[in-house]
Amino acid sequence: MVNKYFGGVFMDEFKEKLQGRKHIVIFGRGERGTAMYQKLHSEYKGVSVCFCESDKKLIGKKYLGAEVFSVAGAIKRYPDALFIISAVKSAREMGTQLTEAGLEKNSIIFQPPQVLLEDWEDERKKRRVTPHKKLRFEVNITKHCNLNCKGCDHFAPLAKNDYMDFVNYQCDIKRIAELFGDQANEIHILGGEPLLHPEVTTFLHEARQLFPKAEICLDTNGTLLSRMNSSFWQICREDGVIIQPTVYPVNVDYNALEDYAKEQGVKYRYLQKNKPGGHHTLWKSPLDLSGQQDPMTSFMSCANANRCITLEKGRLYTCLIASNMYLFNQYFEKDYIEFTDDDGIDIYKAKTPEEIFTYLARPMPLCRYCDIKNRSTDHPWECSQKKMEEWV
């Protein structure tokens, strides 16, 4: 089963499955789970609502006044409940966890009715066009990756071995510090796969020197962590770097890596919120090579817009896809994507943070190439064949 980006069962199907049940269990208490809980709690007075989680740190605690169970614990406590999966990108994996724990598929809603998420979606759309007060930004210090996921929205399978030059990075990040200071409160060093860069610790340390109060995260697939030397772990510990692996279905003992990070005194958390036992699935973000999509529609419907802000060669982009689109042109040796001076804002020409925040809260010309309505998620993980259809 693949979830369409704007998916969701019809309300009558939801009501049919709910009929005769007194309990609803929401699997996942993130933003979507929270929004569903609030809607259900206010409109379905005769039904009790609680959560289940795979994250052991959350189990046994109360959230919004509701209990948070393990998957097995929720099924045991409420065997006749209707379970709603709140996540989009990992719905397949979460459904597998439920069925392997003994729950019948008829008791699972894989895609919640859109009406349960309307208020949340409206609020998210407002945030996209509202200029931020704080800057969260990402830096791709490598373009290539050792996993090469099919349809990667960073276009990593199409990249040659490409390492960011530290001097250029230093110039750009110093300019960000000049403009934003403590307003830049969250920095993500990623790729491609950032641990492929031989100077990864230098990049991390420079970020900490320039942004002493910011949260600095290293986003990685984790496959190379066990090979990192003592100086890497020392820098991560002393500079307060948070290592954020995404769990892939590869031969990596993520539990052992987590234990080792704790031994080293290094902060460690899972980027995609999938703990070992679950793993990352793929999504497809197709391009419309004709460039006929409405930029505002694409922007307003895009979860990356004004969120995954990316620093790339002296410019800030409102999303990660736009900053990496040129790799598609390079690999397929044709200028399918046309770039303009208004794609990304030049941080050396911009005078104030407000000017940049205002720019990031509106669509770029490149948004016309994103076919948002045909985005899909929860595809089984597999390696890229570098075929054009993976991205169109």
Mean pLDDT value of segment 63-86:
95
Give backbone dihedrals phi and psi of 212, rounded to 5 degrees, phi first.
-65, -20
Average pLDDT over residues 351-362: 98
Q: CA-to-CA distance for 25 and 97, rounded, in angstroms?
A: 14
pLDDT of residue 332 exceeding 90: yes
Rounded-to-5 percentages of helix, strand, coil across the chain: 40, 20, 45
**Which of 57-61, 261-265, 326-330 is the least confident region?**
57-61
What residue ranges define each of the domains in the chain, with the CATH number in brackets? 3-123 (3.40.50.720), 129-390 (3.20.20)
Cα distances (angstroms) measured from residue 157 to each of 95, 327, 336, 366:
29, 9, 18, 21
Closest CA to 274 of 52, 68, 94, 4: 94
What was the pLDDT predicted at 57? 84
For 231-269, the pLDDT digits (tens) are: 999 999 999 999 999 999 899 999 999 999 999 999 999
Percentage of residues of the chain with pLDDT beyond 90: 78
Q: Judge whether 194 and 162 are in contact, CB under 8 Å.
A: no
314 SS3 class: coil
| Residue 378, pLDDT score | 81
Gap between the Cα atoms of 273 and 369, Å rounded? 29
324 is written with which tokens?
């990496």
Nearest to 317 by CA among 342, 289, 337, 349: 342
- DSSP-assigned letters across all residues of 273-284: S--TTS---EEE
The mean of the pLDDT values for the chain is: 92
CA angle 54/152/159 to nearest 5° reads: 140
Residue 2 backbone dihedrals phi, psi, to 5 degrees: -115, 135
Contact 147, 221 (CB under 8 A): yes
pLDDT band at 273 (very low <50, low <70, confident <90, very high): low
Give the residue among 260, 209, 262 at the shortest CA–CA distance from 239: 209
Longest dimension (CA), the chain: 65
Could you please report the per-residue DSSP string of 189-258?
EESS-GGGSTTHHHHHHHHHHH-TTSEEEEEE-STTGGG--HHHHHHHHHTTPEEEEPP-SSS--HHHHH
Residue 8: pLDDT above 50? no
The answer to whether 119 touches 126, Cβ cutoff 8 Å, is: no
With CA atoms as reference, report the closest residue to 254 among 231, 282, 274: 274
Rounded Cα gap, residues 289 and 69, in angstroms: 46
The span from the CA of 74 to the CA of 80, in Å, is 10
Between CA 243 and CA 236 the distance in angstroms is: 8
Q: What is the pTM of this model?
A: 0.86
What number is the average pLDDT over the span 298-321? 95
